[in-house]
Amino acid sequence: MNVPPELRYTDSHEWVRMEPDGAVSVGITWHAQDRLGDLVYVEVPKVGQSFDKGQACAVVESVKAASDIYAPIAGKVEAVNADLAGNPEKVNEDAYAAWMFRLRPSDLGQIESLLRAADYEKLIAAEEH
Amino acid sequence: MSASGLKRTALNEEHRALGARLTDFGGWEMPLHYGSQLEEHHRVRRDAGMFDVSHMLAVDIAGEGAEPFLRALLANDVKRLTATGRALYSCMLNEDAGVLDDLIAYRFGPSEFRVVVNAGTADKDLDWMRQQLAARGDRATMRPRRDLAMLAVQGPQARERFWAAWPATRQASESLKTFQAAQLTADGVDLVIARTGYTGEDGFEVMLPADRCVDLWRRLMDAQVAPCGLGARDTLRLEAGMNLYGQDMDESVTPMEAGLAWTVNLDPGHDFIGRQALERRSPRFQLLGLLLQDKGVLRSHQPVRAAGGEGLITSGTFSPTLSRSIALARLPLTAQAGDRVEVQIRGKWLHALAVKYPFVRKGQPLIELDHPTPPEKMQ
């Protein structure tokens, strides 16, 4: 099903990885890129920007449609993956390697309320029907 | 008929076996892509790809009244098909000169023609044609050919690969020029091969009995022709500046308002349905190309602001060959290629340039890009 068990997820199809230094990396899931099709643009936020949980912070655009990416938790952008601007296809090639930005969480408690892999699998199974 | 109510072509199982993402197109279950529509697009521009176009409908029209009937029905003039095997592209208009459909008409003999119409409009077209034939009383028969499948094999290597897959067809089709077709029998199969297409590349469109289509598809796969879906079909045709019925034109516009004045034959004596209205009406707008200057993707219905007034995108997409977004747009009559315009995309007004189209021919850009595509992208 392509839902790595060690990651966390949102119901808007972002994945979240906890980094050793306490930051979180964010990207879009395999399911999200599969639905969008070939990506042609990825617009990442700027380092230093702060977002609330659920706030639109990035955009991906495929030939088919544009889609907002939402901050899975509140935090400040510490790093962005500049490589994706020139190579949006990397998201299609390996969604979980193609991190888009890293957040320094402002409320660690929010991480706990992110979906676990099993919940995300249920969500996408429900969406297919 | 499938459980979902969508119609299926003879190649449906092949598409499924290849892992195609399927979609509803005009009531038919068709492949959107087989993995990557961008790769499929590039394969057609650089090599050879194939499309199942069996959702389109061939209608055979025959009899001594066939030519007068078609001369009335179509805005282009089939009288100009002066030999068997010639074909032309035409609009079919209603009495108000609105476009009912666009199609290709082939002459197969002095009194024998075939027209190929779009999938989504096939029922409407048949009703209209029957109605007109009955009203006019031309001595002609109309025969929809749902027994036929259609494949488009397109790209610089398309014809060679086709002949590699089916050597017995080579002799009859080798000398076809663009917009020419051959009717032939190869290995006992009756087929039509036309040097036409909807991609801006060389290639063939092939019409054959549906029960022979799977075999041909598989032989083409073995000959390294890439299966390509509707996603690539749309980016290819838009780069090539070809209209899509239902987006770039419909019954509410005339051919002149859709960049198709060149398909209308106004010679004296060519009295086609809609001619009078067409000559009475003045165009309200024109169709021009747009090239987006900023990042983003132009899409149908996005508003356009030009110096002379407002407009609307009819078809937009990302051009894989140019690595930029392109579109066809309805613009004020005062607009010209070279004008800077603005397009509203997701709430923001972005900059675009009005350009002549087509945007690409034989794999090469036809327009100047301010910021040339980096060399590493032009593999």
**pLDDT tens digits along B346-356:** 999 999 999 99
> Is it the case that residue A56 has pLDDT exceeding 60?
yes
* C-alpha distance across the termini of chain B, in Å: 42
Indicate yes or no: CB of A41 within 8 angstroms of CB of B295. yes
Round to whole Å and give the CA distance between B145 and B26. Answer: 18
Mean residue pLDDT across chain B: 95
Considering only residues B377 and B132, tell me which one the structure prediction assigns the higher pLDDT. B132
Q: What pLDDT, on a 0 to 100 scale, did the predictor assign at position A110? A: 94
Helix (H) or strand (E) holding B310: strand B309-319
Q: What is the mean pLDDT of residues B131-139?
A: 98
Confidence of residue B367 (pLDDT cuts 50, 70, 90): confident
**Structural tokens at position B175:** 């000398």
Indicate yes or no: CB of A38 within 8 angstroms of CB of B235. no
Q: What is the mean pLDDT of residues B73-97?
A: 98
**Structural tokens at position B163:** 């002949």
Round to whole Å and give the CA distance between B300 and B24. Answer: 18
How confident is the model over A77-122, as pLDDT tens digits? 999 999 999 899 999 999 999 999 999 999 989 999 999 999 999 9
Indicate yes or no: CB of B297 within 8 angstroms of CB of A63. yes
Q: What pLDDT, on a 0 to 100 scale, did the predictor assign at position B362? A: 82
Contacts of A37 in chain B (CB under 8 A): 21, 32-33, 37, 231
What is the per-residue burial (b if ≥16 Cβ within 10 Å, else e) of B339-372? bebebebeeeebebbbbebbbbeeeebbbeeeee
What order of strands is seen across the sheet that includes strand A39-43?
A39-43, A56-62, A66-70
% of chain B exceeding 90 in pLDDT: 94
The CA–CA distances, whole Å, from A124 to A72, A92, A121 equal: 17, 18, 5
Indicate yes or no: CB of A37 within 8 angstroms of CB of B33. yes
How confident is the model over B258-279, as pLDDT tens digits? 999 999 999 999 999 999 999 9
> Is it the case that residue B379 has pLDDT exceeding 70?
no
**Do the beta carbons of residue A90 and residue A83 sit within 8 Å?**
yes
Asked if B38 reaches chain A (Cβ–Cβ under 8 Å), the answer is: yes
Identity of the residue in A63, A66, A89 whose CB atom sits nearest the CB atom of B346: A66
The CA–CA distances, whole Å, from B145 to A103, B5, B54, B86, B294 equal: 60, 21, 11, 20, 46
Indicate yes or no: CB of B33 within 8 angstroms of CB of A92. no
Identity of the residue in B235, B296, B346 whose CB atom sits nearest the CB atom of A63: B235
Q: Is B113 helix (H, G, I), strand (E, B) or coil?
A: strand
Rounded to the nearest angstrom, the minimum Cα separation between A35 and chain B is 10
Q: What pLDDT, on a 0 to 100 scale, did the predictor assign at position A127? A: 86
Round to whole Å and give the CA distance between B49 and A23. Answer: 46
Indicate yes or no: CB of A63 within 8 angstroms of CB of B317. yes
Indicate yes or no: CB of A63 within 8 angstroms of CB of B295. no
> Is it the case that residue B110 has pLDDT exceeding 80?
yes
Residues 6+ apart with CB under 8 A from A108: none
| Half-sphere exposure at residue B173, Cβ-oriented, CA atoms within 13 angstroms | 29
Confidence of residue B190 (pLDDT cuts 50, 70, 90): very high
How confident is the model over B209-220, as pLDDT tens digits? 999 999 999 999
Q: Is A47 helix (H, G, I), strand (E, B) or coil?
A: coil
> Is it the case that residue B377 has pLDDT exceeding 50?
no
State which residue of chain A sits closest to B37, comparing Cα positions: A38
Confidence of residue A129 (pLDDT cuts 50, 70, 90): low
Identity of the residue in B21, B318, B346 whose CB atom sits nearest the CB atom of A40: B318
Residues 6+ apart with CB under 8 A from B131: none
Indicate yes or no: CB of A40 within 8 angstroms of CB of B36. no
Round to whole Å and give the CA distance between B365 and B240. Answer: 10
**Do the beta carbons of residue A22 and residue A28 sit within 8 Å?**
no
**Do the beta carbons of residue B25 and residue B6 sit within 8 Å?**
no
Q: What pLDDT, on a 0 to 100 scale, did the predictor assign at position B368? A: 80
Rounded to the nearest angstrom, the minimum Cα separation between B155 and chain A is 21
Q: Which of B318, B322, B350, B373 to mutate to test the interface with A (most CBs of A within 10 A)?
A: B318
Instruction: Specify which residues B52 forms β-bridges with.
Output: B151
Nearest to B178 by CA among B163, B188, B193, B189: B193
Q: What is the mean pLDDT of residues B18-36?
A: 96
Identity of the residue in B21, B318, B346 whose CB atom sits nearest the CB atom of A63: B318
Asked if A92 reaches chain B (Cβ–Cβ under 8 Å), the answer is: yes
Asked if B373 reaches chain A (Cβ–Cβ under 8 Å), the answer is: no
Confidence of residue B363 (pLDDT cuts 50, 70, 90): confident
Contacts of B346 in chain A (CB under 8 A): 66
> Is it the case that residue B374 has pLDDT exceeding 70?
no
> Is it the case that residue B370 has pLDDT exceeding 90?
no
In this structure, the number of other CB atoms found within 10 A of the CB of residue B164 comes to: 17
Q: What is the mean pLDDT of residues B334-339?
A: 97
Round to whole Å and give the CA distance between B101 and B93. Answer: 7
Burial class (CB in 10 A: 0-12, 13-18, 19+), B159: buried
